[in-house]
Structure 1
Amino acid sequence: MRRLELIALPGLPMVAAGDDLAALIEAGLARAGLALVEGDVLVLAQKIVSKAEGRSVALADVQPTPEAEALAARTGKDPRFVQLVLAESQRVVRARPGLLIVQHRLGFVSANAGIDQSNLGQEGHALLLPRDPDGSAAALAARFGCPVVISDSFGRAWRRGTVGVAIGAAGLPALWDLRGRPDLFGRTLQVSISGFADEIAASASLLQGQGAEAQPVVLVRGLAWDAPPNPAAELIRPESEDLFR
């Protein structure tokens, strides 16, 4: 019987711009008496990656455009915050009071382009997503010698509540194509494609939490896969397959 373990690293310090994130996590593993083994995956909350990469922006330095001012009036949001959202986005998907859904420049569809103001420790600042989450995951995976998933919390169409999803991945199949394999009774799978990295991110988010948990790094142990690695960008549905656009 296979066993899956999820272990949140304790005692990680607040991350600041320019910090060596890999070194902080390596120190956290050592404090917890953990050594990485084959099959381990590290899941990092997007926030600490963005912080280390200096993606925090002071709202006082942002000059909103007329488009941002108009959209801020519709949504009731700070025009400077809306300007950051627009600058990070390809298009506005939906806007109403209190809600702004956009397609991020990287393809994600989410509220506020993933820009957040919680748990920053800097009043009047907002935190953007990493410029290249898959690239960030790849650099960290090279340092650790194990796969890395960068997770964020997204809402979902048709369902309430947020869940952890992968916005960056390296060293594993973010999208795992199971078509052609047999099911329990030998029937060939025709359409089964697993969002493997999303499933990992969602499981880790149970420990990472959404508020004051202060557990942004989770070690997932006991996973197995037999497909080549591909990045989290593969999880974004192409426009040609999007029936709701």
Structure 2
Amino acid sequence: MHIKAVKTAPISLGEEITKVLDNYLPPLVENTIIAIASKIISLSQNRILACADVANKNGLIKKEADAFIADEYNNGNVCLTIKNNILVPFAGVDESNGNNHYILYPLDIQQTAAKIWQYLRTKNNISNLGIIITDSNITALRRGVTGVAIGYYGFEPLYNYVGKLDIFGKTIKMTYINNLDALAAAAVLVMGEGNESTPIAIITDAPRIEFSSTSDFNMNKISMPIGEDFYSPILRTVRWIWNRR
């Protein structure tokens, strides 16, 4: 597998994402996956707020979250939230590389990924193309952040080992590889988190990828309900406050 980061100039507020891709992507070949930092999608959608205009960051986080842990578990400092079925700090509200602005999660993430997929596929006259919209996230009991996918299109997000044999000839009963988040993590590693100005990555020769133009691409394919999650004994011991939209 090969991943190449794409350097860009600072992305302007309201700049159409397809125009950004026109400016910086080379011609694409079959079986390519394009990873795009969610932050530049947010900028293209004007999803930012000046820090000076936000009286209470915690209030903004609660508004943006699908669910947040009640204040009694956070001493008033809202941190852990659920956004788009992902456990994420601060509902994705981010100040880094924001120049005194809060950058919020993009809207209509799956539809945006589909739009980019269709545009690049047609422009480059290719059939097999994948799109990943990435963000940073934390892992329990680990320092540092890694990449995670918050949207995708054009390929199956999971690789199923169930029914296949392990090296000793035993049938595998449970294992799936989360190709989507694995690729997002690898792309974000190459793209960086600071002043690299490389918010796009081109992935080629990724293993075990099943490209498709007809599948129902949605994040529910990799989402796990709280009650079925391995971490449910922890997640269900706190009081979640849900925003009903």
Question: Shorter-chain-normalised TM-score: which range?
Answer: 0.7 to 0.9
Q: Quote the RMSD (CA, aligned, Å).
A: 2.1
Aligned counterpart for 1:45 among listed residues 23, 33, 37? 37
Relative to the length of structure 1, the TM-score reads 0.81
Change (3 A) 1:227 1:45: closer
1:78-93 superposed matches below 5 A? 80-93=56-69
1:232 to 2:229 alignment? no
Matched residue, 2:21:
25
Return the alpha-carbon distance in structure 2 between the equivalents of residues 178 and 221 of structure 1.
Answer: 22
Aligned counterpart for 1:142 among listed residues 110, 118, 136? 118
The amino acid that maps onto 2:172 is L
Return the alpha-carbon distance in structure 1 between the equivalents of residues 211 and 34 of structure 2.
Answer: 18
1:100 to 2:82 alignment? no
Change (3 A) 1:233 1:127: farther
Aligned counterpart for 1:163 among listed residues 136, 146, 158? 146
1:164 deviates by 0.4
- Ranges in structure 2 where 5+ consecutive residues have no aligned partner: 122-128, 236-245
The amino acid that maps onto 1:216 is P
Matched residue, 1:113:
91
1:97 deviates by 7.7
Return the alpha-carbon distance in structure 1 between the equivalents of residues 178 and 75 of structure 2.
Answer: 30
Residues 45-87 of structure 1: CA distance to partner in whole angstroms, max 9, x if unpaired? 111111111110234444xxxxxxxxxxxxxxxx521111000
Whether the aligned pair in 2 keeps the contact of 1:176 and 1:227 (CA below 8 Å) is: no
Whether the aligned pair in 1 keeps the contact of 2:68 and 2:78 (CA below 8 Å) is: no
The amino acid that maps onto 1:19 is E
Aligned counterpart for 1:130 among listed residues 106, 109, 120? 106
- Number of matched pairs: 218
Q: Which has the higher contact order (CA 8 A, sep 6+)?
A: 2
1:205 deviates by 1.1
Relative to the length of structure 2, the TM-score reads 0.81
Matched residue, 1:209:
192
Return the alpha-carbon distance in structure 1 between the equivalents of residues 42 and 75 of structure 2.
Answer: 28
Q: Which shows bigger deviation, 179-188 or 93-102?
A: 93-102
Matched residue, 1:74:
none
Whether the aligned pair in 2 keeps the contact of 1:166 and 1:232 (CA below 8 Å) is: no
Return the alpha-carbon distance in structure 2 between the equivalents of residues 126 and 175 of structure 1.
Answer: 33
Return the alpha-carbon distance in structure 2 between the equivalents of residues 100 and 223 of structure 1.
Answer: 34
